[in-house]
């Protein structure tokens, strides 16, 4: 009877180890699960008007998706957007702020820095962000070049992506908070 109890205990312990290993692999480890992030962008997530007198969301047909994979020395991303209605697509960024709050620009996705120009109405961009691409925001504690700080902010859920159009939505037409995701950019 003691042998049976020991075998059952041993099997239960092995089972727990396997479950824990699978959970850890999904959060980072070799599966890169903890390094994959995504955002779904739409006008309802936008915060127009900045701090204080915000006018709220944007009613638009525009929508988009951002996928990120964090590596040691860069962030690989894929940005797709379509059906924007606010005019010319001028730029897309990663900003530093929690949900429903405006924050400063941390890195360009298109339309600035060394990134390609944004395309009107719809676009597909795949590139990398490295330390040289991080522009701040200095007044929020992220200095230019501090890739590690941007990565920490992404992991903490304190970043969002948005796409700006002029003349109608220069503060942003579509926006999405960046969070953990199973999909990834290569």
pLDDT digits (tens, 9 = 90+) for 11-59: 444 444 433 444 444 444 444 569 999 999 999 999 887 555 566 899 9
pLDDT digits (tens, 9 = 90+) for 73-93: 999 999 999 999 999 999 999
pLDDT at residue 48, as a whole number: 83
Q: Annotate 108-143 with b (16+ C-beta within 10 A) or e (fewer).
A: bbbbbbebeebeebebebebebeeebbbbbeeeebe
Please choose, from the candidates 24, 64, 30, 33, the residue with its C-alpha nearest in 3D space to the C-alpha of residue 46.
Answer: 64
Overall pTM > 0.85: no
User: 182: pLDDT confidence band, cut at 50, 70 and 90?
Assistant: low
Contacts of 44-48 with CB under 8 Å at 24 or more apart are 45/99, 45/160, 45/174, 45/175, 45/176, 45/177, 46/162, 46/169, 46/171, 46/172, 46/173, 46/174, 46/175, 47/100, 47/101, 47/102, 47/171, 47/172, 47/175, 48/169, 48/171, 48/172
Please choose, from the candidates 181, 153, 34, 180, the residue with its C-alpha nearest in 3D space to the C-alpha of residue 94.
Answer: 153
Annotate 81-98 with three-state secondary structure: EECCCCEEEEEEEEEECC
Indicate whether 124 pLDDT > 50.
yes
């Amino acid at each position: 009877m003691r042998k049976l109890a020991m075998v059952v205990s041993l099997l239960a312990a092995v089972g727990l180890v396997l479950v824990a290993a699978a959970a850890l692999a999904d959060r980072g480890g070799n599966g890169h699960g903890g390094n994959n992030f995504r955002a779904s962008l739409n006008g309802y997530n936008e915060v127009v008007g900045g701090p204080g007198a915000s006018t709220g969301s944007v009613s638009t047909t525009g929508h988009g998706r951002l996928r990120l994979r964090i590596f040691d020395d860069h962030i690989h991303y894929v940005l797709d957007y379509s059906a924007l209605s606010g005019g010319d697509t001028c730029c897309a960024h990663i900003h530093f702020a929690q949900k429903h709050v405006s924050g400063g620009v941390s890195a360009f996705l298109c339309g600035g820095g060394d990134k390609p120009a944004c395309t009107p109405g719809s676009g597909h961009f795949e590139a990398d962000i490295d330390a040289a691409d991080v522009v701040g925001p200095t007044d929020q504690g992220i200095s230019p070049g501090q890739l590690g700080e941007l990565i920490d902010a992404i992991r903490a859920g304190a970043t969002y992506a948005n796409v700006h159009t002029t003349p109608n939505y220069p503060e942003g037409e579509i926006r999405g908070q960046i969070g953990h995701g199973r999909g990834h950019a290569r």
